[in-house]
Structure 1
Amino acid sequence: MIGTKPSGTVPATRVHAEGSVFAHRTLPEETPVAMVYDGTTHAVMMASPADIEDFAAGFSLTEGIVTRIDQIASSETIAHDRGIEARIWLSGPRAKALTARRRTLAGPVGCGLCGIDSLEQATRPLPALHRQGPVLTADEIASATDQLCDWQPLHDLTHGVHAAGFLLPGRGVILAREDVGRHNALDKLVGALARQGLDAGRGAVVLTSRVSVEMVQKCAMAACTILIAASAPTLHALRLAEEAGITVAGFTRGGSFDIFSHPQRLKNETRHVA
C-alpha cells in the first residue's frame, strides 16, 4: 500500500572512510495525489501525503480552475491502496467552465501539464500586478529564508523536502507548508492562505527552491507580488515576473540577496544591496 504518512524510517548502511555502520534514516514519503473535479480526474501529482485539502484548494486557485475559494462547493480526501484522491465539487458556473475547457482538449496530446495543452499552459496570460503589493525592508527580505527554517519540521526529519512560506511585513513568516515538490509546497501554501481567509497580496512568498516559470505563474494567480527564494530564478521566470509586475529576490541567504525585478517594493534605505 502507498504510504499516507509524510515520512517513515528505514534501515541503511552508512559508509565512510573508516568502514561502515548500520543506521536508520527517516525519509520523506511520495504519494500519487489525484485532483478529481466533479467526478473526473484532472491531474495526478506525486506529492507528500499531508495537507491535501490545502493542496486541492491551492492547486484549484493557481491553475485557474477557480478564481475564489468559495467557488469550491465542497471537497473531501479519500485514501486508496495506490494513492490519494482529492475530490472537489465546483459551483455551477465553474463546473461548466471546466467542462468546456476539457471539451476543447479532446483529441490533442500534450505533455501532461495539469491536463492542459503544454504550449498554452507555458504562455498563459497572467494578472497584471504592477501597482499592487507591500513594501519590505532589506532586513525582512534578507532574513526570510532563515525564518523559513523554523517552519520545516519534515525537512528537519528527512532533509528531503521543499517549503513555501508566507511573510507579512512587520511580522515575519507566519505560515508555511512542506512537500517533496516545490510546486506542491506552494500550492499547499496558497490553499492554506485561502482557507484561513488570509490575503496573499499583503505579503511575500518565501521559497527554499529556485524560481521557475511555474512558481511565478502560481504567485501571479494568487495575486502575490513578492517572491523571495533561496536559490536562483531562471531567465524565463524573470521575463514573466517583469511582465506580471512581480518582485523577485534570489540567492537569499547569509544576510544578503539579489533583487532581479520590480525593486520598488524594497524600502528605500541607506543599506546597499549589491
Structure 2
Amino acid sequence: MKLYSINTGLFKLDGGAMFGVIPKTIWSKTNPADENNLCTLAMRCLLVEDGNRLILIDTGIGNKQSEKFFSHYYLHGEDTLDTSLARHGFSRNDITDVFLTHLHLDHAGGAVAFENGELQPAFSNAVYWTNEKHWDWAVHPNEREKASFLSENILPLMENGRLRFIPWQKEQYQFTDQFSIRFAHGHTSAMMLPQLTYKDRIIVFVADLLPTAGHIPVPYVAGYDVFPLQSMSEKREFLHEAQQNNYILFFEHDPYAECCTLRQTEKGIRIDKVFSLEDI
C-alpha cells in the first residue's frame, strides 16, 4: 500500500461555528481568525494505492457551483485536486474508487462535475462509496444540515449507476485487507472514518470527528455537529484508543498539521508530534 496526501485548496468558515461553545480567546490560539472571524481550513484528501485499486478518500468542494456560491467560502490557495493528483503521477481517469466519508459539500462537492452541460460523475472510471444510512440522511436532509447536502453533488452518482453502499450496522467494516472503516454519528449520521494499516502503523483519516488538531480537547465540538454530546463521547473513546495504541491521525481540515500522534497530559490527551505523511 502507498498513501498520497491530496490537497484540493483552502477555504474559510466562521470560527465560532467551528468551535461551538469554546470562547474565541481560547480557540484562536490554535486557529487564528481574520478580521471577519473566519478561520482558514484545508480540504485535504487522501489517495490510497492498494494493489490494482486507486482509492480517493473525499473530493473537496469541486468547481461547478456559481461564483456567488463560492464567495461564501473564500476559496484560495494554489492546490487543486487535479494538480495534486498530477504531482504524484496520476489523473482522474486513474481513480478506481471514490470513498466519501460523508456527503457534506466540502467533502463530496468534487464527486460530480459539469461535462458537456450535464452533471456527471467527475471520475469516469470510478465507483463511489457511501452507506445507505448516511445516503438516506443526506437525500432527506434535516433543516440544520440542508445547506450542506446539495442534490447536485450526490444524486448524479445514483442516477448514473455509480454508487455502492457499505454495510453500516457494525462499528467497524473491512473494506480491503489493510483498509477498515469506523463509523461515527455525532457530526452527521453514519460518517465513515478510514483506518489504514501502513508501514506497520495505524493511520486514521479523522474527517470531521476531529476537523483540526485544535479540536482534540473533548469539549471542542463544532456548531455544525448535529449531536454534539455524541460527538464528545465518540471523540473521548477514539482519542483514548488512539493514544493507547499510538495511532497516527490524518487531518482533513487542518491547514497546518497534516498528521499527528497523541500523548497523555494532566489536562487530558493532547498532540505529541506533528509531521507530514511523507515523514512516516
Q: TM-score of the superposition, structure 2-length normalised?
A: 0.24
Which has more radius of gyration? 1
